[in-house]
Structure formats: structure tokens, C-alpha cells
Amino acid sequence: MRTLKFDESDRRKVIAEVEAHFATKLSQVGRFKKYLEDEQGRPYWVLGGYDDWHGVSAEMVKKERRRQLGGVLVVAKRGRTSIDIYAGDLQQMVARESDLSHTQTGDYQFNIHIRGNSMMVKEISGLVLHKLGPTHEVGLPIVAMISKMSDVERQRLFKAMKDPEGV
């Protein structure tokens, strides 16, 4: 089975929701897709994934350490059919970057834990992100389409998904 990934389509959906929530327009900083800023130059890191760990590049941390503009850390947790979005204080993460795990390439990783409407970063005690609005449903048109298929059509589809060359 294919590993599920938080893709650029998911990131665009999350960015749109963050822009609506904070009533701002975000633009990419340099070549970083995860590193954005609003019209006033306030930074937003938009991270996402299916799992409970996330990573940021050492270059992003270094750049933000120089800027020290505050900012917003956004972490989206993607499920099979939904995305939950959480936001908190970016500066708290940057200030405590030494508490984060390092990869072999020098980048940073951290783990999250969700309890109710709060997301905690395990490596940085006190860093809590709060859920932005309701859960965002995604992928439902496909679910609706499959539910309308006959059993024979569903079996054919699932067989094709397992072995696309055998169809």
C-alpha cells in the first residue's frame, strides 16, 4: 500500500484556511514552501502531515532566529478524509530549537500530541497550539462516488488499484 503524504494540494487548503482565520494574505519566503509571511512581514510556518512527527530545515530556523519577528507556527494533522489545523507561537519553537531532535542532515524534527482542541509539541514543554475552527473534510467526493457504485464496480476499481497493469 502507498504511504500517505501531506501534499501541496493539502498545504494550499491549509494556507487558505490560515489566511481566512487571520484575515491576511500569505506569500512564500524564498524557496521554502513551508515558510510564508504576511503583508507586514510576520512569519508563518505551515507544516503538515499524517503522522505525529514533523520537520523543519535548519536554514528556516536560522533565518527566523535572525529576524525575531514573532510569528505563527501552523501544524496541520491530515487524516484519511479530514485535516485539523492548529496554530501557536513560532518564536517559542525558534528560541528552544536546541530541544528539538536533529536529523543526520542537521534539520530539526519534533513530535506532537493532540488532546481535545490543543496540540502539544512533546520536545518543548509549554508550546501548545490551538485548533483553528472545525475539522476540514477532504476527499469526500471520492467517498461519495465509490458509495454510489455497485458491488461489481467497486470490486473492479479496487482490483485496478491493487494491480493497475492487470486491468
What are 83-112's pLDDT values in tens digits? 999 999 999 999 999 999 988 888 999 999
For residue 9, give every residue at least 6 positions away whose Cβ sits within 8 Å of its Cβ, in sequence order, or none. none
CATH level 3 topology of 8-134: PvuII Endonuclease; Chain A (3.40.210)
3 — pLDDT class (breaks 50, 70, 90): low
Strand pairing category for 72-78 and 43-49: parallel
C-alpha–C-alpha distance, residues 136 and 147, integer Å: 20
C-alpha–C-alpha distance, residues 58 and 89, integer Å: 18
In Å, how far from its chain's centre is CA 57?
15
What are 107-162's pLDDT values in tens digits? 999 999 999 999 999 999 999 999 997 766 665 456 566 767 788 888 888 788 87
C-alpha–C-alpha distance, residues 133 and 28, integer Å: 24
What are 30-47's pLDDT values in tens digits? 888 999 999 999 999 999
